[in-house]
Amino acid sequence: MSITETDFIHRFEPGADATRPPLLLLHGTGADENDLIPFGRLVAPGATLLSPRGKVLENGMPRFFRRLAEGVFDEEDLRRRTDELAAFIRESQARHGLAAPVVLGFSNGANIAASLLLRHPGLLRGAALLRAMVPFRDPPRARLEGTEVLLLSGTADPIVPAANSASLARILQDAGAAVAHHALPLGHGLSQMDVALTRDWLAAL
């Protein structure tokens, strides 16, 4: 696979169901472009899947942007990586003739997905953010009317404080997004509860 400057190592699976929006899968720290493919197939059967690998390495583990410490983001890098990912999404849409995708991001992937919403409003049809945090200390102003967002947080999550998840929901709602926020009795890992809620939310789009 040839990689251009704005391209990412990625997997692309053409969908069998043209009524479903394409699903952009953004993995968590230490995973890669293969990690969320099974999850995507479960929650959106027949949908086109686009799954890039984060370009940043932290102790050999792929991520989508740098962090200074756990829960402390390198916001300059986050902005640059977000814009680079947005360019990849637009190029993939043109290359494959895709409609606006719904992003499904987990952990680090959910954080850059939230950044995509705020920095590139209108690029995504919707977003399922699993264990996401507020990406910026001073979030950019965005107009997200018509954008559906599912936010799944864990009440026992040792990485994402409940107040942070609630703040992210408010930021997106204040920007005009239709946010469904569920605080689940879970930690940072994913469960069948995440699968069921995400599948039902996608089916209703």
Cα 137 to Cα 147: distance, rounded to the nearest angstrom: 22
**Average of per-residue pLDDT across 66-76:** 92
2 is an active site residue: no
Number of domains, the chain: 1
Question: Does 3 map to a domain?
Answer: no
Question: Does 156 map to a domain?
Answer: yes
Question: Among 51, 107, 115, 153, which one carries the catalytic annotation?
Answer: 107
Question: Does 2 map to a domain?
Answer: no
Question: Does 1 map to a domain?
Answer: no
Give me the pLDDT at residue 6, please. 57
Q: Which residues fall within 8 angstroms of residue 149, CB to CB, at 6 or more apart?
A: 117, 126, 127, 128, 129, 172, 177, 178, 179, 180
7 is an active site residue: no
Question: Does 5 map to a domain?
Answer: no
Mean pLDDT of the chain: 95
Question: Among 51, 153, 157, 165, which one carries the catalytic annotation?
Answer: 157
Please name which of 23, 100, 35, 102 lies closest in space to residue 64, comparing C-alpha atoms: 35
CATH, residue 62: 3.40.50.1820
Query: Could you tell me the residue range of the domain that residue 79 belongs to?
Result: 10-203
Question: Among 32, 181, 188, 191, which one carries the catalytic annotation?
Answer: 188
Is the Cβ–Cβ distance between 73 and 29 less than 8 Å?
no
Question: Does 153 map to a domain?
Answer: yes
Does the pLDDT of residue 3 top 60, yes or no?
no
Question: Does 4 map to a domain?
Answer: no
The model's pTM is 0.96
Cα 46 to Cα 82: distance, rounded to the nearest angstrom: 27
* Helix pair 108-119, 75-96: axis angle to 10 deg: 80
Question: Does 24 map to a domain?
Answer: yes
Give me the pLDDT at residue 71, please. 84
Does the pLDDT of residue 113 top 70, yes or no?
yes
Q: Which residue has the tokens 């704005």?
A: 6
27 is an active site residue: no
Task: List pLDDT tens digits, range 152-205.
Answer: 999 999 999 999 999 999 999 999 999 999 999 999 999 999 999 999 999 999
Task: List pLDDT tens digits, range 15-55.
Answer: 999 899 999 999 999 999 999 999 999 999 999 999 999 99
